[in-house]
Structure 1
Amino acid sequence: KNFVILLIFILISNPVFLPQISSNSNVTGNGITIAIIDTGIDYNHPDLGGGFGDGRTVIGGYDFIDNDSDPMDELGHGTHIAGIIINIAPNSKLLAYRVVDYNGLVKSSDVIRAMDLAISDGADVINLSLGSMSESNELRKSIKQLTNSGIIIVTAVGNSGPIVGSIGDPAKYEDVISVGSQYTDEVNSTLAIINIDSIEEDLIGLPMIDSVPLTDNLNAELKFVNYARDEDLIGIDLSGKIAVAKRRGAEPGDIVYFSQKESNVAKNGALGLIIINTMPGIIKGRLLHPGMAIDYKPSIPTLLITQEDGEKILKYIEESNSPITMSFRNDNLTNFVSLFSSRGPVSSFYAKPDLVSFGEQVNSTWLDNSYKFQNGTSFSAPQVTGTVALLLELHGDLNKDQILGILGPSASPLTNSYNLYLPSTLQGSGSLNIDKALQSPLSIHQSQLSFNLGNQQPTNSQLITLESLVSDSLEISLDHNLQNKDIEIIFNSSTFVLNGKESVVVELNNNLLKSIQESYFDEFRLLIKTNYSNTVFTIPISTYFYTISLDIENNSESHIVRILGIENYDQALLRIYNTDNAEVDEQTFSFNEEILLNLSPGTYWINAIVSSNDNFEFGGIEYIVHPNSNLSTLDSNYDSSTWIYVIITLVSIMILIYYTRKSSL
């Protein structure tokens, strides 16, 4: 009896709750089938139909771990995802495919088999809240084939943030919709926002477990105290100041507990303590531990921040001629991307993530008719998946580009306290806005643009399609918020009228106006307005500036590649990606060696990494081979897993330099 009473209490007091669902009760995902490839689904949960098979919510599936037709969930992850989707698209049908074993591991071959079976079973949309930092070219090829056939695949970007370039497979593929996580109001007490008067950006700190809570805004001068050891504080008065200390000690074997740091600076009068992580990423950390002093008791607010943000703070302390004042506070955090959410970039030819949604403290269905709060991008992705189902019901048969052309431009861009857009490498187009997506009068694809410019290739053009979704006459105007004086953006036209469900292709030319001395990155937004409402739709535009460029000449037998902008180099590596079939090839050349490529008809993204005296330069070009070339395809015998991360790292460094410079203005 006690068990039954407890169960009823849980069902009543902990229903699935999401920060947003559709306000349009006429669009419910009816007629749309969604495949969840995950840990299976506990289909007996009353919120998920209370059964399995025809006439139920979960109408089919397969268990690739036990190799049977019963995809019952034993870990809970897939069940949680199912509850989120059904909460947004309550009349959609689900297919459950169990590919995650009892240890939480999954094989890419099982994912491929599950996707193939899902298509045979009638899936319209596939949710993949799983991933890996290891590359699988077979998985990429399989996903490209499915999306080319019209299947929509939604993926979670992963939880390897805040490290840049940390999005793995399959979320980094250009053919999927990749979703990151943002905070909700439910987690205000677990975060603090840090503002420094000379940095126009918000830094996020994690209050340490057992720390004195931050109840009011704390405004004070910063003082760096090295590792906050006794010897670091000799002759230092911290009265009325906020101490900044590095994690751990000066030598690898040194142990300086968090409690020691907090106690030492508090005794010297500090109002608060910021501890800088000394390795990539961030941990929660705690002050109370077995090795602490017997009489120790936390007495001041203590935060832990990332190594990257810590270096920013130390840089400004070092360079400032006057005391640096800062504040940290609790605040509305819905404008922040979760620290754990994996970051881009993944390529200079396209951007990831595509958008973000709420992934903190998401309450949804769990095993044994229960509910559970969970954190992670795994639970952001199904919110987008559910919205895709609504859009498919509303508009009929749309492909991935058309769907993303609605979701991306209608997303709500996230900004910091200074009203500056957060980088698209964090948020993509912005935060999922379900109602705005359902009310959107047009699909704009591509939903994010990337340009590659160089001194020898100062012009790059991209095409976007404006596709009306309404029967009425639709007036459209284009503008932008570009502030970089090095470039200009030109449209072939900035105003359009679409009558009925017409579409128009717009050419955007990005022109470099002067020679650049070093590679860097810039970002702005394309602004689209219509007469349908006062809503402004936006598209992030990234520009990669390179000091070297690639020039390709097509002769009768092959394609000759020339690297421009560098007089000499030790070695050049070319990575050639065929966007039509996801084939990858890599070749390495020395300076005196002629670079010849045999390419079949298709569109290629070609990246070059050039090394010279231990320095690296990076360039890229999109290259189209037309069908009349009659050239053979390269046989690929190269492992691409190493160099793709070198490319991502170099692009990431450019973006980090850009935002560091921007924040110092």
Structure 2
Amino acid sequence: MLQFYCLVLLVSSFYISPAICQNAYVVELSSKEALTHFNAQYNTRYTYDSDLLRGVSVQFGSTDEASIALAHPDIKNIWPITHKSRPTSTSTINININNNNNNNDNYPLLQTFDKDAPAMLTKANNAYRTLGQNGSGIKIGVIDSGIDYTHPALGGCFGKGCKVAYGYDLVGDDYNGRPESIKESHDPIDSCTSNSTSATGHGTFVSGIIAADDKKYASYYCQNWTGVAPGATLGMWRVFGCNYGGVSNDILIKAMEMAYNDGMDIINISLGDNGGWEEDALSVVADRLVDLGVHVVAASGNIGTSGIFLTAAPATGRNVISVASTSNNYSPAFMINIESPNSKFSIPYRTFVNQPVSFNQTFRITAASTKFNPTFDACRRKDLPRHIYGGIVLIRQGGCSSLLKVSNARHAGAQVVLFYTGTTGTTNFEVLKEATLPVAFINLSDGKQVFDAISHENSRLFFHRSYAQFTKLMVALPADKSSVDQIASFSSLGPTNELQLKPELTAVGGNVFSTMPIYKNGYGFMSGTSMSAPFVAGSVALLLNGLEKRPSPGEAKTLLMNFANPTQPPIANLAQYEDSPIRQGAGLVNVVQAIEGYRTFHVSPAKFSFNDTQHFNNHQVLTLHNHKSTPLKVKLSHSPSLTATGYDLTNPSSYVPTEPIGLSVSGQSSVASVSFEATTLTIPPNSSKSVKISLTPPSIFNPQSHVIYGGFFKVDSEDDQISATVPYIGMVGNMGSLPILQRTENSEPFPFPSIGNPNGTILQRHSLGHYDVTPGSTNLPFILVRLLTGTAIVQLQVVQVDYDDAKNDKVIGDIPMETGSSGINTRVWLQRNTLQLTESSTAYHSWQWNGVYLPKPDATISGHNDPDVKPKLVEPGVYRIRVRALNVFGNRQNTSDWDTWTSPNLKLHRFSHLLPSLILS
């Protein structure tokens, strides 16, 4: 049996090759007959046979077999099978405190110091109470890591009549990327254990955000804690195992088809990567779901500090709802009990891991200094008192490195460091991953209270008489005002490479409280856009419940965008401007406003792109729809946003992305100016009116800067005090002129573009490289490329060198899309590289060439190997590799639309492997 596998491989210890699936494709077919043919002739993994997709995922035994098969006349589309990373959260906390009154229960319960803490931390979940609708009758499918439906908040059972009524396990616990490891099941339970290497409880957590309803928990601790749509019915399609960090895209497509066939109204997809393009296979299939009437909600991704154009697929689908994150307006904290000779009290503390300090004992507590708030507290080891040995030491943050202070405390024998910060509000914490002791943080005023309590006439002789105990009792603290309703730093940014606005909506994604599997202690916190997407999915369910006529996916997205609340900008002194739509979309979802607003009016379209300068669409039309039986008077206005700078403006010709982006405004010339055909309108009852909008881009920016401007068109109802907004974006400069290939001699870890040798060195510009292309050789060249901008295709051409006259150099063919021993490393619809490796991006691309080529120029220009051209091995000789990357909006037939680089000379040999390796010159 042929092996079908999709693994992350290292083709060299020096050059990283991204996820690969060798000779494997998802093939869309135009007829049932072709489907039967493929199933009979080839090693098919999955068959897709629905309105969504008719085709197969197929493993071919060789490139030759693939070339023959893919020449079938009934093939409509071909997508390489690629590996998708498992979703991660930016922070996780699991809570396991059993209550003595429930010792007989077989599940853990959260016991909080403040009974209202869970409700405060999930305050946004309560829209259904206002609406009197809870999502009942709506089916919401989740494609994720499985679900622990034994959790009381998730119904306790699976199947007909249960909260979790639909689903399937496509992979099993032991899935490791290989087909023989798959053990499918009709039961989608997350049955991993606490010692599983990759299990995070992600699917259970997401499901709880959508529809948790733990009446037992609620009745004991707080007033009815639930998810966003507690009456909804859930389905789970499990696509991740317990000890493996990814899944192939053909499995995800199969899960999407199964959810569609089971009649899901809404599908939540809190995963994705390879961002920037709506043409990605997952985005294409997700868009088709929307066309078939399914509301698809997807997370935008968690690499917000890496700059623009990085919204993950499938959130890049044009009709998919892409969701960004804000932080929670409350932060989880825990309590520390202090007892001194003269006082006894409790105060909240926080940790950078968002978990309580795990010691279950009382410690002596000592201050590091006899004075409160000294500048250089604990900066020198010799200044620490002996009494801190074996206990907790109170230290002021600042003056020197916090890690140095922790190290000094450890050497003095302390067990825990309790920092007091310089803030008086909710405690901020410092991330100290390399700390050698447990570390907790309290604010300045609480630090003063502790210091005063444990001091006695400033004499160290009495410090040992004070004690402290860290508890796991959780409280909810108001978030710092400077971060309330702001986009979280981790939230990935749009727009797409084709300048479509992404994300479209925002929801709470930081410090979210929800259900965890029982093996993860039942409840906990996570952060990420994975948490924001299910909040919007639940909101869509409430919207479907709350309107007399169920809206289509497009109508639902429009309403939620119309009546969202724009987020606060991150720059306090520019609060009069909105945050950029490429960070927030239309803003924070507000389903109550959407339902109430729709009773009066709505606006279409939901968003605008004015494109770039080259393709500038100056005139747009906004249509206002009056749903009342009386005339509607409205006023139109413009609210510009901060301008986003995605490239280093001090050196715009380098086009190195700014990570993170810059946000600025410097007067009216740095934002767009807008004129409306009319600023006031009266719309007849149950009618619509359109108004023309003209926009002038900001004039201050050089087109080379490629800044992204934006803002909101605001529509205010004069009589009903209801407002709607429509976000827009545009670019100063020509998107198609952005270079694709970075060209630099001093970049890290390599100069780009370049040819890498197997020993990790780089072939110098004017040198001659020697390589052995005998089948099985490892002495092969690597093509190293960093993409500054996303590209639809990277073409690798083989150029035969004429030493006598360079003018006679000629392209003899293309390197196949399967680049030799590295297997298939897809070169189509590539997102730009980031400067650092992240969970969903790479810092560069590496393609190894084994000397095989397709002997026809432009044999891969379509993005696939020409099926009529048989691959062959080059003859010994001197060659160059020409790298061509298509510019955005480029025409593949136009040479000037390609960004091109040609390598130094490569001398290719064929040697017996019994001979010593050739020394590279």
Q: TM-score range by the shorter chain?
A: 0.5 to 0.7
Q: How many residues align?
A: 488
Contact 1:189 1:330 in 2 (8 A): no
1:228-247 paired onto structure 2 within 5 Å? none
Cross-structure match for 1:626: none
- State yes or no: 1:538 paired with 2:725: yes
Q: Is the 8 A contact 1:258 1:286 kept in 2?
A: no
Equivalent position of 2:230 in the other structure? 90
In structure 2, the CA distance between the partners of 1:363 and 1:298, relative to structure 1 (3 Å rule), is closer
- Equivalent residue number for residue 19 of structure 1: 123
8 A contact 1:457–1:549 mirrored in 2:
no
The alpha carbon displacement at 1:80 in A equals 1.6
Q: Please list the CA deviations of residues 616-661 of structure 1 after superposition, one character each: whole Å capped at 9, or x if unmatched.
A: xxxxxxxxxxxxxxxxxx983269xx969999xxxxxxxxxxxxxx
Q: How does 1:10-89 map to 2 (within 5 A)?
A: 10=110, 18-20=122-124, 21-22=126-127, 23-65=129-171, 66-74=183-191, 75=199, 76-86=201-211, 87-89=227-229
Could you report, residue by residue, the CA deviation over 1:270-299 in whole angstroms, capped at 9, with x for unpaired residues? x9999xxxxxxx992247328x9xxx9999
Identify if the C-alpha distance between structure 1 residues 532 and 389 changes in structure 2 by more than 3 Å, giving closer, same or farther. farther
Within 5 Å, give how 1:353-502 maps onto structure 2: 353-368=503-518, 370-395=522-547, 396-416=549-569, 417-418=572-573, 419=575, 420-441=577-598, 442-454=601-613, 460-470=618-628, 472-482=630-640, 484-485=668-669, 488-502=673-687
Encode CA deviations 1:345-376: one digit per residue, 9 max, x unaligned: 33352222212211222222222382222222
Deviations 1:73-128 (A, max 9, x none): 23422222222111222222111111122224222212211111211111111100
User: In structure 2, do the counterparts of structure 1 residues 430 and 10 end up closer, same or farther at CA, with 3 Å as the change threshold?
Assistant: same
Q: Unmatched 5+ residue regions in structure 2?
A: 1-100, 172-182, 192-198, 212-226, 335-349, 358-365, 368-374, 381-396, 411-419, 424-428, 445-478, 641-666, 738-786, 798-828, 833-859, 866-883, 890-921
Letter in 2 for 1:403: A
Shift in CA distance, 261/151, structure 1 to aligned 2, threshold 3 Å = farther
SS in 1 for 2:545: helix
Structure 1 alignment gaps of length 5 or more: 191-205, 214-220, 222-227, 230-240, 248-255, 264-270, 275-281, 302-328, 551-572, 578-583, 590-605, 610-633, 648-665
Tell me the distance in 1 between the aligned counterparts of 2:352 and 2:398: 15
Superposition deviation, residue 242 in structure 1: 8.0
Give the conservation status (yes or no) of the 8 Å contact 1:402–1:445. no
The 8 Å contact of residues 635 and 718 in structure 2, kept in 1 or not, is answered as no
Kept after mapping to 1: 8 A contact 2:678/2:691: yes
Counterparts of 1:473-622 in structure 2 under 5 Å? Answer: 473-482=631-640, 484-485=668-669, 488-511=673-696, 517-518=702-703, 519=705, 520-531=707-718, 533-546=720-733
Offset at 1:259?
A: 6.2
Matches within 5 A, 1:84-483: 84-86=209-211, 87-102=227-242, 103-133=244-274, 137-165=280-308, 166-187=310-331, 284-286=431-433, 288-289=435-436, 330-331=480-481, 333-347=483-497, 349-368=499-518, 370-395=522-547, 396-416=549-569, 417-418=572-573, 419=575, 420-441=577-598, 442-454=601-613, 460-470=618-628, 472-482=630-640
Change (3 A) 1:588 1:352: farther
- Return the alpha-carbon distance in structure 1 between the equivalents of residues 134 and 262 of structure 2: 21
| Bigger Cα displacement from structure 2, 360-369 vs 35-44 | 360-369
**2: CA distance, partners of 1:58 / 1:428:** 31
Distance 2:622 2:795 in 1: 32
Using the TM superposition, name which of 499-508 and 89-98 deviates more: 499-508
Q: In structure 1, the residue corresponding to 2:544 is in which secondary structure?
A: helix
Look up the equivalent residue of 2:620 and give its one-letter code.
Q
* Structure 1 counterpart SS, 2:541: helix
Contact preservation (8 Å) 1:489, 1:510:
yes
Structure 1 contact 262–298 (Cα < 8 Å) conserved: no
- The answer to whether the 8 A contact 1:458-1:512 is kept is no
Structure 1 letter corresponding to 2:312: G
Alpha-carbon spacing, 1:244–1:85, altered in 2? closer, same or farther (3 Å): same
Using the aligned pairs only, state the percent identity. Answer: 27
Amino acid aligned to 1:125: I
In structure 2, distance between residues paired with 1:509 and 1:147: 31
Amino acid at match of 2:284: K
Map of 2:900 onto structure 1 = none
- Residue identity matched to 2:606: S
Which whole-Å CA distance do the structure 2 matches of 1:60 and 1:28 have between them? 19
Give a deviation string over 1:253-274, Cα, whole Å, max 9, x none.
Answer: xxx96868999xxxxxxx9999
Return the letter of the residue paired with 2:717: T
Q: 1:508 to 1:261 in 2, by over 3 A?
A: farther
8 Å CA contact retained: 2:513, 2:525: yes
State the AA in 2 paired with 1:433.
N
Inter-CA distance 162–547: structure 2 relative to 1 (3 Å threshold): closer
Q: How many angstroms apart in 1 are the aligned matches of 2:503 and 2:700?
A: 31
Give the TM-score, by structure 1 length: 0.61
Give the Cα separation in 2 of the matches to 1:243 and 1:98.
Answer: 50
Q: Which amino acid aligns with 1:508?
A: I
CA contact (8 A) 2:147 2:204 kept: yes
- After TM superposition, give the deviation of residue 72 of structure 1 in Å: 0.9
Distance 2:480 2:118 in 1: 27
Partner of 1:661: none
State the secondary structure of the residue aligned to 2:611.
Answer: strand
Is the Cα–Cα contact under 8 Å of residues 188 and 331 in structure 1 kept in the other structure?
Answer: no
Matching of residue 636 in structure 1 with residue 795 in structure 2 = no
Contact 1:208–1:287 (CA<8 Å) still a contact in 2? no
Q: Measure how far apart 1:490 and its partner are.
A: 3.1
User: 1:350/1:478 Cα in 2 relative to 1: closer, same or farther (>3 Å)?
Assistant: same
- Write the letter of the residue equivalent to 2:522: S
**Structure 2 CA distance for aligned equivalents of residues 471 and 35 of structure 1:** 37
CA distance in 2: counterparts of 1:355 and 1:644, whole angstroms: 31
- What displacement does 1:145 show? 1.4
* Contact 2:795–2:861 under 8 Å retained in 1: no
d(CA) in 1 for partners of 2:493, 2:331: 21
Q: 1: CA distance between counterparts of 2:510 and 2:282?
A: 29
The CA RMSD over aligned residues, in Å, is 4.9
User: Cα gap change, 1:644/1:394 in structure 2, threshold over 3 Å: closer, same or farther?
Assistant: farther
Q: Distance in 2 between matches of 1:127 and 1:423?
A: 25
Quick one: structure 1 residues 284 and 435, their matched pair in 2 at CA, closer, same or farther if it must change by over 3 Å? Answer: same
State the Cα distance separating 1:244 from its structure 2 match: 10
Q: Deviations over 1:187-221 (max 9, x none)?
A: 2879xxxxxxxxxxxxxxx99789x99xxxxxxx9
**How far apart, CA to CA, are the structure 1 residues paired with 2:732 and 2:688?**
32
**Superposed displacement of residue 6, structure 1:** 8.0
C-alpha distance in structure 2 between counterparts of 1:244 and 1:259, whole Å:
11
Contact 2:580 2:711 in 1 (8 A): no
- Separation in 1 of the partners of 2:304 and 2:351? 18
TM-score (norm 2): 0.46
Structure 2 Cα separation of the partners of residues 15 and 547 of structure 1:
49
SS at match of 1:97: strand
Aligned residue identity for 1:159: N
Cα 1:422/1:588, change in 2 over 3 Å? farther
